[in-house]
Amino acid sequence: MVRKMGFYAVLAYVLYGLFFYWYLFQFAEPKLPFEYQGTKADPSTFLNGRELMLSEEYSKFRNLLFFLSTPFEWLFYFLILLFGFSRVFKRWAEHSTKYKYLHTAIYLFWLSIFAFIATFPLSYISYSLSKTYHISTQSFPAWMKDELIDFWINFGTWLIIVPVLYWLMKKSKKRWWLYGWLLSVPFTLFMMFLQPVVIDPLYNDFYPLKDKQLETKILAIADKAQIPAKHVFEVDMAEKTNAMNAYVTGIGSNARIVLWDTTLNKLTDNQILFIMAHEMCHYVEKHIYWGIGGYLLLSLFGLYLTYRLMNWAVRRYGKELKIPDVRDIRSLPLFFMIISFLLFTASPFTNLASRYQETRADHYAIEMTKNPEAAITSFQELTRSGLSQVNPPLLVKIFRYTHPSMLDRISKLEEFEIKQRNIE
Residues 242 and 237: their CA atoms lie apart, in Å, by 8
Amino acid at 118: A
Please give the distance of CA 204 from its chain centroid, rounded to a whole number.
18
Q: Are 94 and 106 in contact (CB under 8 A)?
A: no
Residues 362 and 80: their CA atoms lie apart, in Å, by 45
Q: Of 197, 49, 69, nearest to 129 (Cα)?
A: 69
Residues 187 and 193: their CA atoms lie apart, in Å, by 10
Q: Please tell me the total number of residues recorded for the chain in this structure.
A: 424
Catalytic residue among 239, 279, 285, 381: 279
Residue 94 falls in the annotated catalytic set: no
Ordered alpha helix ranges (H), 211-331? 212-224, 261-266, 269-284, 287-321
Q: Are 209 and 232 in contact (CB under 8 A)?
A: yes
Please give the distance of CA 262 from its chain centroid, rounded to a whole number.
20
Task: Please enumerate in sequence order all residues whose Cβ is within 8 A of that of 415, keeping only pairs 6 or more positions apart, or say none.
Answer: none
Show which residues are catalytic.
Answer: 279
